[in-house]
Amino acid sequence: MFSLLRRFFAVLTRVNPDLDHEVDTIISALGGLDNILDCGACATRLRLELKELSLLDEKALKQAGAIGVVRIDQHHVQIIYGLKANSYAQCIEQRRS
């Protein structure tokens, strides 16, 4: 029983070793840090406000693992990543600070 719990918590707390590289790719596909005005996440979506939505590279985002890209208006976009969205948002916000 203890072994099962230990494995369960190891999975929950596992750190993605590629997280920094994945976030670099996302930021680049968003037009760089200077293009990001606001960043947040819900359960499965990275929610962004961008200065210039025209700099968004949807193809690069999908190649990097995005399930979908939803353009809300001229400045807002939601990128569907699944459960990684919150981790991505936190990393992007740290880099913007």
Q: Which residues are catalytic?
A: 42
For the chain, the straight-line distance linking the first and the last C-alpha, in angstroms and rounded, comes to 43
| DSSP of 13-68 | H---TTHHHHHHHHHHHTT-GGGEEEEEE-SSEEEEEES-GGG--HHHHHHTT-SE
Q: Measure the CA–CA gap between 65 and 95, rounded to whole angstroms.
A: 21
